[in-house]
Amino acid sequence: MTDPILSVRRLTIDIPLAQGTMHAVRGIDFDLKRGETLCIVGESGSGKSLTSLAVMGLLSGKLRRSADRLEFAGIDLMRQKPRTMRSLRGDRMAMIFQEPMTSLNPAYTIGDQLAEAYLLHRRASRVEALARAVELLGKVGITAAESRLSQYPHQLSGGLRQRVMIAMALMCEPELIIADEPTTALDVTIQAQILRLLADLQREMNMAMILVTHDLGIVARIADKVAVMYAGEVVEQGTAREIFDNPRHPYTRGLLRCIPVPGKTKPGEHLGSIPGIVPSLVGVVEGCAFRGRCDVAAPSCADPIPEQKEGAEHAWRCIHGQAEEGAPA
């Protein structure tokens, strides 16, 4: 096996607030290899988006990021100057955001915005950059690509804009692409097209991809690995097969309860709801954050929770798991 292109250990993000520090992401680990797709799932506020922004180095100034390791292709992202980070972003790692309607600058043409990253990272003329833009627009399935270059974002539909966003992310053939809920703002029918497109391109260009999503149907279809986040922690991660077939964390199981048969969940279907509210992450958080909503909570859930492992990839944070259920083998 090759080394992971992205390796994250004990990534922590703190948000200082007037009322105290909010521990939005609390020590998460994951690895991602070239050509792999990692899906991060979880409900709003679980820290999925922050995690992807942290990898890109795009957290706003007030947020504090720390990690034992945050390596991209052997580069320690924690220790890079902003300048180096800028040279990586848009070139070797790229990101697609969830709001195509607002993620494009209204003041510039599609062509300008597509060319920008290419011009920033490659020694290329504007003509070359635009040619590359046309090529990629074609790749993301936009017809009459040439004429689109001089159009402005407001002249395009949401689906087209998201295709443009994807093309923009791919301009420099990144090694890692992070897609943060790229389809939530779109029509259901278009969602499927866009996701299929993403998956195809990822395979074709042999990129590593992190896909942040709510949509378990998608996860089931395209994920190699899945990380389930809850209240700032990865409560369970493993290969897609492991997560869907053998979920160990009560939260994962809660999520999966509405999709009885993995692989048959329809695209666009949302996570089932689990009663109760997410606890405050401000101040010291001890024990399992899910215990307030958990059917199988025990007094020891308030103590630090050890990580349990099974095989090379599958890991979860719960006092239950192996002992209770037994290895499914």
Site residues for another protein per CB under 8 A = 15, 17, 19, 22, 24, 44-45, 49-50, 53, 56, 58-60, 62-63, 82, 86-91, 94-95, 97, 99, 102-109, 116-117, 120-121, 152, 154-155, 165, 168-169, 278, 280-282
Give yes or no for a contact between 219 and 12, defined as CB atoms under 8 angstroms apart: no
Q: Least distance to another protein from the beta carbon of 75, Å?
A: 14
- The token duo for 135 is 């090529």
Nearer to another protein by C-beta: 6 or 24? 24
Nearer to another protein by C-beta: 92 or 196? 92
Q: How far apart (Å, rounded) are the C-alpha atoms in residues 85 and 91?
A: 10
Give yes or no for a contact between 171 and 117, defined as CB atoms under 8 angstroms apart: yes
Work out whether strand 20-32 and strand 6-17 pair parallel, antiparallel, or are unpaired: antiparallel
Nearer to another protein by C-beta: 135 or 324? 135
Q: Least distance to another protein from the beta carbon of 46, Å?
A: 10
CA atoms within 13 A on the CB side of 105: 10
Q: Which neighbouring-strand residues pair with 93?
A: 89, 176
Work out whether strand 314-317 and strand 307-310 pair parallel, antiparallel, or are unpaired: antiparallel
Q: Least distance to another protein from the beta carbon of 99, Å?
A: 5
Nearer to another protein by C-beta: 11 or 192? 11
Q: Least distance to another protein from the beta carbon of 208, Å?
A: 16
Q: Least distance to another protein from the beta carbon of 81, Å?
A: 12
Pick from 317, 315, 314: nearest CA to 288: 317
Nearer to another protein by C-beta: 45 or 287? 45
Question: How far is C-alpha 137 from the geometric centre of its chain's CA atoms?
Answer: 23
Q: Least distance to another protein from the beta carbon of 64, Å?
A: 12
Q: How far apart (Å, rounded) are the C-alpha atoms in residues 241 and 263?
A: 10
Nearer to another protein by C-beta: 24 or 77? 24
Question: How far is C-alpha 155 from the geometric centre of its chain's CA atoms?
Answer: 29
